[in-house]
């Protein structure tokens, strides 16, 4: 089995695969101080609840945008799963051309999303990932990663508004029926949600206009379903794109990654 790990700024996602079938997926809040033992205690217990033992894991692949989390995850993989963890962008090269002045500064999740999107959809592409930040990534017609845009995630916007305005409460993300709110809560929900829809639509339209030809637009990430239908520009909803990209990179490096399993373990 493959253990794929996506370390985001807010959550760390673990997914277990046999071939291309996902057997289980678990989320843990990202904490830069978390130890290898803490990761292992969380993950192994949940795996056992589904009937899987750590000995069954034969490969570990990681994508991370939180550098301090990598070392304890490497140690967890070695000590508790008997595997050498391979980190995308460090141990494994991206199987995609990155046409930027400094390719190394691009977040691993953004490139991994692009790898999966090219596999599933015909470029050119715009990939909108609703995470801690909302990222807009561009893949041209030749399958080359061209960069994109980064905006604050909607929950960051809500937190900032509640912290800076003493009389405004923190609200949940919701799609109000009316734009004109008739209470403070309704007005905040309208401004946050429909304002964010306007941001998404505006940026995507500018990207497509700048590119100069029609593009396929994909929504991914935790809040993608909320915006998929209400922002009238998406062609596909693909919430699990990052994990699909990690799986694709593993498949292209299968023998090298599996060789990281400790001798004597099967």
Domain of 191: which CATH number? 3.30.420.40
- Both 128 and 215 in a single domain? yes
Same domain, 132 and 61: no
Residue 266 counted as domain residue: no
Quick check: is 87 in a domain? yes
Question: Are 150 and 83 members of one domain?
Answer: no
Phi, psi of 146 (to 5 degrees): -115, 0
Catalytic residue among 6, 91, 109, 159: 109
Q: With both helix axes pointing from N to C terminus, report the angle between 184-211 and 154-164 in degrees, rounded to the nearest 10.
A: 140
Cα–Cα distance measured from residue 99 to residue 128, given in angstroms and rounded to the nearest whole number: 19
Please choose, from the candidates 169, 133, 158, the residue with its C-alpha nearest in 3D space to the C-alpha of residue 148: 133
* Segment (H or E) for 86: strand 85-87
Are both 147 and 218 inside the same structural domain? yes
Instruction: Say if 115 falls within a structural domain.
Output: no
Beta bridge partners of 147: 138
The partner residues of 145 in beta bridges, in order of sequence, read: 98, 139
Same domain, 145 and 88: no
Provide the residue-wise pLDDT of the chain in tens; the chain has 266 residues. Answer: 999 999 999 999 999 999 889 999 999 999 999 999 999 999 999 999 999 999 999 999 999 999 999 999 999 999 999 999 999 999 998 999 999 999 989 999 999 999 999 999 999 999 999 988 999 999 999 999 999 999 998 888 888 877 777 667 777 788 888 899 988 888 888 988 999 999 999 999 999 999 999 999 999 998 899 899 888 899 999 988 999 999 999 999 888 887 776 433 43
Is 109 an annotated catalytic residue?
A: yes
């Amino acid at each position: 089995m493959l253990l794929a790990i996506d370390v985001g700024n807010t959550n760390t996602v673990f997914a277990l695969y046999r071939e291309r079938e996902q057997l289980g997926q678990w989320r843990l809040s990202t904490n830069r101080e978390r130890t290898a033992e803490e990761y292992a205690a969380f993950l192994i217990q949940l795996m056992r609840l589904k009937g899987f033992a750590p000995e069954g894991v034969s490969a570990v692949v990681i994508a991370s945008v939180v550098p301090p989390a990598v070392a304890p995850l490497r140690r967890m993989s070695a000590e508790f799963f008997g595997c050498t963890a391979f980190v995308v962008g460090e141990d494994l090269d991206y199987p995609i051309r990155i046409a930027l002045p400094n390719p190394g500064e691009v977040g691993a999740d953004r490139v991994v999303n692009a790898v999966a999107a090219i596999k599933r959809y015909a470029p050119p592409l715009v990939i909108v990932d609703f995470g801690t930040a909302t990222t807009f990534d561009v893949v041209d017609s030749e399958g080359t990663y061209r960069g994109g845009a980064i905006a604050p995630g909607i929950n960051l916007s809500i937190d900032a508004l509640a912290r800076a305005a003493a009389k405004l409460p923190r609200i949940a993300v919701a799609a109000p029926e009316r734009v004109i709110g008739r209470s403070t809560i309704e007005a905040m929900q309208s401004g946050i949600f429909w304002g964010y829809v306007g941001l998404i639509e505006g940026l995507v339209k500018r990207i497509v206009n700048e590119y100069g030809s029609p593009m396929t637009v994909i929504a991914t990430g935790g809040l993608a379903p909320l915006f998929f239908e209400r922002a009238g520009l998406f062609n596909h909803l693909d919430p699990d794109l990052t994990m699909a990209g990690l799986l694709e990179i593993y498949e292209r490096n299968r023998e090298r990654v599996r060789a990281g399993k400790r001798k004597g373990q099967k």
